Amino acid sequence: IVGSPWSERVSGVFAYESSKVDWCEENYRHSEHVVEYFNTVSNLIFFIISPMMLYLLHPYARERHQAVHLVWLMMVFVGVFSLYFHMTLSFLGQMLDELSILWVLALGYALWFPRRRFPSFIKDRSFGRLVLIITALTTVSSFVKPTANAYVLNVFGLQLLYVLRMEMKQYALRLAKRMVALWVLAITCWISDRFGCAFWQELNFCYLHGIWHILIVMAVAYGTTLIAFLDASYEIPYSLPGIQYWPCDQWEVGLPHIVLKGNTKLRKEC
């Protein structure tokens, strides 16, 4: 019913600045239609890196599981929802942004969590269902206190780093160190923008959250490549997986990806 409290509440979810989260960048500085201009534009990195990683990881996904592509397809949605959130600072935009990140993490757990580290009561197929159930419950509970969602997501990220540390191979340490460095820089930018806004406003430099977008996409690129390499080393060792960088393998700041040097036709059939 138009004009009813329910309709007003629903319309408020879509309203500009209906979210309780407001980042450090000055609002409406460059456009009357875009609340946080640089934070919005910086999301373009998602639409550049995601298709490239889909292409670079395709040989691994074709040999291991096509579902691997879902991670970077979901990263495109993260970019779309993050762009919408920073353009409007609406409550709906905030929830879509945070929940899309949650589902990317859930996909990563379901696809790559090492089978040998499953609890004894969990079988291979039931683990994915368990992750789905937990993620669905977390999605619902995230509406209880939305301002806490970002902190919970960062905790999940820390736990994933711990699992990677447990699985680390010696010759993957260099890639892992770069990933951790990118992640630490990204989190530093996020925390500085969230809690040190007054300081950065004095310096007239309120772009740290936008820089966080760029750094976290690169950290995810390094992280997914590292996880895929470890997974391939254990699950399809006959493919002789290796790590290379695009556009030039000698550039340690390029996009990492998996190369399969072995003959996949030697795969053991059961």
Total domains in the chain come to 1
Q: Tens digits of per-residue pLDDT, 124-165?
A: 656 667 777 777 777 777 766 666 556 566 666 666 666 656
- Between 115 and 13, residue with greater pLDDT: 13
83 lies in some domain: yes
Per the annotation, where are the binding residues for Zn(2+)?
A: 86, 209, 213
Burial 64-100 (b: 16+ CB within 10 A, else e): beeebebbbebbbbbbbbbbbbbbbbbbbbbbbbbbb
- The pLDDT value given to residue 270: 40
- The pLDDT value given to residue 162: 62
CA distance 267 to 168: 24
106 lies in some domain: yes
Residue 43 and residue 83 in contact, taking contact as beta carbons nearer than 8 Å: yes
- The pLDDT value given to residue 220: 93
Q: Tens digits of per-residue pLDDT, 72-87?
A: 999 999 999 999 999 9
Per the annotation, where are the binding residues?
A: 22-23, 25, 27, 36, 86, 209, 213
Q: Tens digits of per-residue pLDDT, 175-223?
A: 888 888 998 999 999 999 999 999 999 999 999 999 999 999 999 999 8
- The counts of H helices and E strands in the chain are 11, 2
122 lies in some domain: yes
With a cut of 70, say whether residue 118 has pLDDT above it. no
- The pLDDT value given to residue 152: 60
CA distance 192 to 196: 5
Q: Tens digits of per-residue pLDDT, 245-265?
A: 998 877 667 899 999 988 655
**Domain span holding position 188:** 30-269
* Residue written as token pair 């760029």: 214
133 lies in some domain: yes
184 lies in some domain: yes
CATH code at position 229: 1.20.1070
With a cut of 70, say whether residue 29 has pLDDT above it. yes
**Strand duo 255-260 + 241-246: pairing:** antiparallel
- The pLDDT value given to residue 266: 47
Confidence of residue 9 (pLDDT cuts 50, 70, 90): low
- The pLDDT value given to residue 222: 93
Average pLDDT over residues 37-44: 97
Confidence of residue 268 (pLDDT cuts 50, 70, 90): very low
21 lies in some domain: no
51 lies in some domain: yes
Per the annotation, where are the binding residues for Ca(2+)?
A: 22-23, 25, 27, 36
Query: How many residues comprise the chain?
Result: 270
128 lies in some domain: yes
